[in-house]
Amino acid sequence: MENATINYLAVIVAALSDFVVGALWYSPLLFAKPWMKANGFTPEDLKKGNPAVTYTVVLVLSLVISYILALFLGTPDTDATRGLAVGVHAGVLAVCAMTVIALFEKRSLGYILVNSGYIFVGFVVKGLILGAWR
For the segment 100-122, what is each residue's pLDDT rounded down to a tens digit? 999 999 999 999 999 999 999 99
76, part of any domain = yes
2, part of any domain = no
75, part of any domain = yes
Task: Supply the range of the domain harboring residue 123.
Answer: 8-132
CA–chain centroid gap for 130, Å, is 14
Distance CA 63, CA 18 (A): 10
* pTM, two decimal places: 0.94
Question: Cβ-count burial of 39 within 10 angstroms (0-12 exposed, 13-18 middle, 19+ buried)?
Answer: middle
50, part of any domain = yes
104, part of any domain = yes
pLDDT tens for 37-96 read 999 999 899 889 899 999 999 999 999 999 999 999 999 999 999 999 999 999 999 999
3, part of any domain = no
80, part of any domain = yes
Q: How far is CA 83 from CA 62, 67, 97, 114, 118, in A?
A: 17, 13, 21, 24, 18
Domain count, the chain: 1
- Structure confidence at residue 2 as a pLDDT band (50, 70, 90): low
